[in-house]
Amino acid sequence: MIKSAPPFQLTPEQQQLLLRMARDAVEQWVAHGRVPHYQNDDPALAQAAGVFVTLRRREGDERALRGCIGRVEAPESLLELVPEMAVKAATNDPRFPPVMPHEIPLLLIEISVLSPLQRLADVNQIEVGVHGLLIEAHGRRGLLLPEVPLHHNWNRADFLEGICLKAGLPPDTWQDPQARLYTFTTFSFEEEIERLGD
């Protein structure tokens, strides 16, 4: 089995603070074109870690992806990186147009804090739903978070093909001796609909 780093943990209060910051950053950017500078003395929020912020839009009972951007490894603290990635997910995801003001009440925000990357030697060690994947090959790089194969009902083989396609590579590139595969885990948390109101 892959030796995983100790799981990153945040208290419910710390999670809610980061979620509120992410939402406020998106609102401030959409309304005023700027990201506020947030301050907090909590040492947990001063830690540096990779972060992805995912935006989903509520459409009836469905939650449609509306943007997802992050950094795999970063020197910035969570306090700095979460608002930055939230704004980029809302404005810079090339798959979607920038978020408009009327959409903000419909958005649900999820934050994923990444563990350090670990080089993968044996693909049979991949646990679908537990591990995220990153591939580097032929000057390209692609990443999929652990929940992606669950959303698509993928098995391990599908996941390996999917990470290649995400990087713009042929689906069997993971077998290339020059390809480098890495795994990571995430500590993920999201807004609760009842907290958002109507």
Instruction: Report pLDDT for 190.
Output: 95
Identity at 36, one-letter amino acid code? P
pLDDT at 134 over 60: yes
Identity at 115, one-letter amino acid code? S
pLDDT in tens, 26-80: 999 999 999 888 999 999 999 999 999 999 999 887 889 999 999 998 888 999 9
Instruction: Report pLDDT for 194.
Output: 56
Percent of the chain with pLDDT over 90: 82
Same fold, 12-114 and 118-184: no
Q: Which of 58, 43, 35, 49 is nearest to 111 (CA)?
A: 49
> Which helix H or strand E contains 152, and what residues bound it?
helix 147-152
Domain layout of the chain by residue ranges = 12-114, 118-184
Buried b vs exposed e over 134-172: b needs ≥16 C-beta within 10 Å?
A: bbebeeeebbbbbebbeeeebeeeebbbbbbebbebeee
pTM for this entry: 0.84
Buried b vs exposed e over 45-76: b needs ≥16 C-beta within 10 Å?
A: beeebbbbbbbbbbeeeebeebbbbbbbebee
Instruction: Report pLDDT for 61.
Output: 78
Report whether CATH 1.10.579.10 matches the domain 118-184: no
Q: CA–CA separation, 48 vs 129, rounded Å?
A: 24
Instruction: Report pLDDT for 62.
Output: 84
Enter the CATH code of domain 12-114. Answer: 3.30.700.20
Tokens coding 70: 């992050």
pLDDT at 88 over 90: yes
- Average of per-residue pLDDT across 117-131: 94
Identity at 114, one-letter amino acid code? L
pLDDT at 3 over 70: no
- Helices 78-91 and 12-32, interaxial angle, to 10°? 50
Q: How far is CA 93 from CA 65, 66, 77, 172, in A?
A: 11, 9, 22, 26
